[in-house]
Structure 1
Amino acid sequence: MGGPVGDSPRSGLTSDRSPPGDGAAAGQDSEPGKLSLAQATALVVGNIVGTGVFLLPASLSAYGTVSLLAMVLVTVGAVALAVVFGRLGARIPSAGGPYAYARDAFGEFTGFWTAWSFWLTAWIGNAAIVVVWVNYVNYFLHWDSAGGQIAIALVGLWLPALINLSGVRNIGTFALVTTVLKFIPLVFVGVVGLFFVQSANFGPFNATGGNWAAALSTAGALALFIYSGVESGTIVAEKVRDPRRNIGRASVYGVLICAAMYLLSTVAVFGTVPYERLPHSTAPFADAINNMFGGGVGGGIMAACAIVSGVGALSGWIMLVAEMPLAAARDGMFPKAFTRETRRGAPWIGIVVGTALTTAAMLYNYLGTDTGFDAILLIATFTTVIPYFFSACAQLYWLVTGARRIQGARLGRDLAVCAVAILFAFWMTYGAGKDAIFIGFLMLLVGVPVYIWVKSRRGEYGPRETTPTTD
């Protein structure tokens, strides 16, 4: 296992001493075929806001209004992570994001493990998105058989895959359009709904009947899922214009936009749907619209929004499923086949393999046991923690080893942000549960033989000649 590779020509990682805003970076600002700041921000927002937000208020309401406090605390942690990713992205504007940061700070094996963990998270998480997406499509089609649901899911998975295969420019445009379309109704509920809020609709502060701190932690564990994707801009750094400047801005802007929407819309739904009904609602935003204006049009509107949201999220995450192994394969950490790209720069091997694995997980959901897939999703939650934790620790490592020349209040601020991000990662681990941690760790261990195989293919392992010695 190698050490830090900050100046390694093979790795493509940028040295800490590279001046921000140099001529090359500035020239990228007008480079065609790359994501603008608006498109990169839309990618972050689109990946964070999937289909889960449309069910979030119902899930949180079961714990009482303490869940609103949990959302605020989780938002603080997500913003801290976004700031950390922004600092790392400006210093190491390389594709792979968390993989590149972990490898630069702790060596190639840690980098590989980070890439492996994120890759597991991404393709398993896509199966979760498409399963929820199918439920909203069936609001209109009513294809309730397993075969019908699988057919819908296949369209939902492979249509975004084809969009990714068509090139990065189409991905950016699609992310921007779908983000705008899904934000309109959510912002509408979050802003207009505040005028219809009735205090009687809010439930008790702690609806569990137990310790309020335990309820806070459990609600926080649910809320943790909604910010997955904050690292999206860092993973596609090489496809972003002026990455030193725009990665951090896109990450922070994306989280703040999502945070405002999440908090406003959740408060509005809590205040417009009676507490006795909300925990049992399968379409809380639709119920909120119906309570605000009467009639039954809310369900159709919100189902359409969830469909758009899901397709946009799947498109962005399929991109990340391919980009992470692409970056690792270029450094010799993943099989070389993942470096193959189309003439439009689409990593087609990663797209096809990732989507195929997601398809397998989706099929297991519809053809396997009723509880097996839920357990897999909790495992994916744990594997999400690994890239977050090592990224935050990479920034902390750089701050405390003297590599940074900035002192005083600014150094203290960055250390505080790192501490919040690391604690946030620990909280995510706690929320996943001990069973998911155990099985997730076993899945991480499966990556070790893969790492050995890749190293052997590079000729780095094998018999070595030794010179006999005499006493």
Structure 2
Amino acid sequence: MSGTNSKMSVWELMILTAVNMIGAGIILLPASLAEVGGISVLSWGITTFCSTCLAYAFAKCGMYSTRPGGMSGYAEYIFGTAGNFLCCYVYTVSILVSNVAIALSAVGYGATCLDISLGAVPTCLYTIAVIWLTTVPNFSGAGITGRIGGITIFGVLIPVFIIATAGWFFFSPSLYIANWNVQHLPFSQGIQQSVVMTLWAFLGLESACVNADAVENPERNVPIAVLGGTLGSAIIYILSTNVIFGMLPAADVAQSNAPFGLVFAYMFGPVAGKVVMALMCIACLGSLLGWQFTGGNIYRAAAAKGFYPSLLARVNRFGAPVTGMVIAGIIQTGLSLMTISPSLNEQFEALTNLAVITNVIPYFFCMAAMEFIMIKAGHGRREELRLPMIASFMGSLYTMYACYAAGADAMMAAALVFFFGLTLYGFLAPSFEK
């Protein structure tokens, strides 16, 4: 299907939502969680429940909102044009930073697969190449993104399914107990240290809402895609990470740049480990492809509102916002150059910390707006609002706790980004009044 009428199906949108989470979140996740140990499963439980609450509230917004732009459109209901602009601006920053982090992780995984030791400059150049490799295919419109994502997701699903099934034959309960709390932390501190990592894994649950304009029958399909993608991803995360803790010492997993490859090498030999590394790298590329498309829709909707230059609203004959994606690619290239570091892990951590906090700021806007959106749509009866309001409140509390757990440095950087957005809005506000 071609032209501006090309739309995603509910299955393609669910795949895009899952790919945006799984591809970026899982390939390095076991190594990060291994620094805390199996106790991180408590964080998984909390994050899964609260992310489902967020997803349910987002689904309600997607069902009843009549304004374009996804989360920024939801924010406008009660925060007006300022809320729309700030939500869109902060989310834009998050996507740009996250995309560089995802590209960087793909390069690191690929280098490990090929047994290549990359310095800072080659790592940066390969990261830039990955950014453009995942930007150009989106020029063919929404359909191609869903189809490619539907293929690359198997680069994660197949290895994870094998680990979640065959891995139990290699599972050692005594080793799992030894890996349970490697730093001997109190439960509360163990959860605090791992909750941001688990939240990073779930970033992207709002993708179906952001891309609501690109899907057939959004009132029906957006809620299905949001909840299905979130719950499916949660099952994959919990099964895979916990099996690994019963197979290898946590210290070995924590030091690995390719933890799934390490596990498969242990189970089936080094060749299998290399194959899995390659599959995971491809899955990461598919995730980045989805995020580049999601970003393009954000920039287009913002330009249509007058927040960004009008050229970002231009689309080609396939309905793809090519100009916006090209400009985003240029910005991401600049971010890659600005964050060159001798340590890939340090560069990745700096990017993800900022990405997490800036990503969840719009969550607060949307959770606050959900009740009003439902009331405006004629669904304001108490029995209709009760469960959505509980979900939005629980999601907001969890997001606030995750911001606290991220630490002072990440919060400071995100605050500066947000305050700069206030300044930008001050310059633009007169044009909106006209």
The alignment's TM-score, normalised by the length of structure 1, stands at 0.85
Q: Is the 2:315–2:323 contact (alpha carbons within 8 Å) kept by the matching residues of 1?
A: yes
Which residue of the partner structure matches residue 5 of structure 1?
none
Q: Distance in 2 between matches of 1:417 and 1:51?
A: 26
CA shift for structure 1 position 390: 1.1
Residue 260 in 1 paired to residue 216 in 2?
no
The correspondence for 2:402, drawn from 408, 416, 428, is 428
C-alpha distance 172-210 of structure 1, shift in aligned 2 (>3 A) = closer
Instruction: Please give the residue correspondences for 1:234-273 in structure 2 after superposition, counting only pairs within 5 Å.
Output: 234-273=209-248
Cα distance, 1:396 vs structure 2:
3.7
- Give yes or no for contact 2:54–2:395 (8 Å, CA) kept in 1: yes
Q: 1:128 is matched with which residue: 68, 78, 101?
A: 101
Q: Which residue of 1 aligns with 2:284?
A: 310
Verify: 1:48 aligned to 2:21, yes or no: yes
Per-residue deviation, 1:211: 2.4
Give the match's secondary structure for 1:346.
coil
Equivalent residue, structure 1, for 2:116: 142
- Cα offset, 1:325, TM superposition: 2.1
Q: How far does residue 459 in structure 1 lie from its aligned partner after superposition?
A: 7.0
Instruction: Provide the residue aligned with 1:164 in structure 2.
Output: 138
The equivalent of 2:366 in structure 1 is: 391
**1:67 and 2:75 equivalent?**
no
What are the within-5 Å matches in structure 2 for residues 88-103 of structure 1? Answer: 88-92=61-65, 94-103=67-76
Q: Distance in 2 between matches of 1:397 and 1:145?
A: 52
Query: How far 1:99 sits from its partner (Å)?
Result: 0.4
**How far did residue 105 of structure 1 move?**
2.5
Q: Which has the larger share of helix?
A: 2
Q: What is the 5 A alignment of 1:89-238? A: 89-92=62-65, 94-138=67-111, 139-140=113-114, 142=116, 144-202=118-176, 203-238=178-213
CA contact (8 A) 2:38 2:242 kept: no
Which stretch of the first structure deviates more once superposed, 385-394 or 150-159?
Answer: 150-159
SS of match in other structure, 2:181: coil
Report what 2:330 is aligned to. Answer: 356
- Alignment of 1:84 with 2:63, yes or no, is no
CA gap 1:169/1:276 in 2 versus in 1, 3 angstroms: closer
Distance 1:345 1:266 in 2: 39
* Inter-CA distance 232–285: structure 2 relative to 1 (3 Å threshold): same
Query: Which residue pairs with 1:19 in the alignment?
Result: none
- State the match for 1:39 in structure 2: 12
What is the correspondence of 1:286-435 to structure 2 with a 5 Å cutoff?
286-293=261-268, 295-366=269-340, 374-398=349-373, 404-408=379-383, 410-435=384-409
Gaps of 5+ in 1: 1-30, 461-471
**Amino acid paired to 2:193:** T
The alpha carbon displacement at 1:357 in A equals 1.1
Q: 1:286 to 1:93 in 2, by over 3 A?
A: farther
State how far apart, in whole Å, the 1-side matches of 2:197 and 2:215 are: 31
* SS in structure 1 of the partner of residue 246 of structure 2: helix
Q: Deviations over 1:42-76 (max 9, x none)?
A: 10011101244122122212223210111111111
How large is the RMSD of aligned CA atoms in angstroms? 2.3
Following TM superposition, by how much is the alpha carbon of 1:366 offset from its aligned partner in structure 2, in angstroms? 2.6
Q: Aligned-pair distance for 1:207?
A: 2.7
Q: Is the 8 A contact 1:273 1:287 kept in 2?
A: no
State the distance in 1 between where 2:421 and 2:252 align. Answer: 45
Asked whether the 8 Å contact 2:86–2:418 carries over to 1, the reply is yes
Structure-1 separation of matches of 2:259 and 2:115: 20
What letter matches 1:361 in structure 2? L
State how far apart, in whole Å, the 2-side matches of 1:392 and 1:457 are: 28
CA offsets, 1:217-267, max 9 Å, x none? Answer: 111122111001011111111110100110110011001111111111111
Residues 277 and 341 of structure 1: CA distance in aligned 2, closer, same or farther (over 3 Å): same
Greater Cα shift, 222-231 or 362-371: 362-371
- Any conservation in 2 of the 1:95–1:234 contact (CA below 8 Å)? no
Residue 230 of structure 1: SS of its match in structure 2?
coil
For residues 238 and 444 of structure 1, the distance between their equivalents in structure 2, rounded to whole angstroms, comes to 27
Change over 3 Å in CA distance of 1:354–1:220 after alignment to 2: same
CA contact (8 A) 2:60 2:374 kept: no
Unaligned runs of 5+ in 2: none
Larger mean Cα displacement after TM superposition, 346-355 or 426-435: 426-435
Distance 1:188 1:310, change over 3 A: same
Q: Distance in 1 between matches of 2:413 and 2:423?
A: 17
Secondary structure of the residue aligned to 1:50 is: helix
Query: SS in structure 1 opposite 2:204?
Result: coil
Deviations 1:189-236 (A, max 9, x none): 122212321102213543323422111111112211100101111111
2:240 aligned partner, one-letter code:
S
CA contact (8 A) 1:82 1:252 kept: yes
Whichever residue aligns with residue 304 of structure 1, its letter is A
Q: Distance in 2 between matches of 1:400 and 1:61?
A: 45
CA distance in 1, matches of 2:419, 2:365: 17
Q: SS state of the match for residue 381, structure 2?
A: coil
Q: Which moved more, 1:391-400 or 1:191-200?
A: 391-400
Task: Specify the structure having the higher radius of gyration (Cα).
Answer: 1
SS in 1 for 2:257: coil
Q: Does the 8 A contact of 1:200 with 1:274 survive in 2?
A: no
Paired AA for residue 289 in structure 1: F
State the shift of 1:322 in Å: 1.6
**Paired residue type of 2:191:** L
Per the TM alignment, residue 456 of structure 1 is displaced from its structure 2 partner at its CA by 4.3
Mean CA deviation greater in 381-390 or 116-125: 381-390
- Say if 2:72 and 2:87, in contact at 8 Å, map to a contact too: yes
Q: Report how many residues are paired.
A: 428
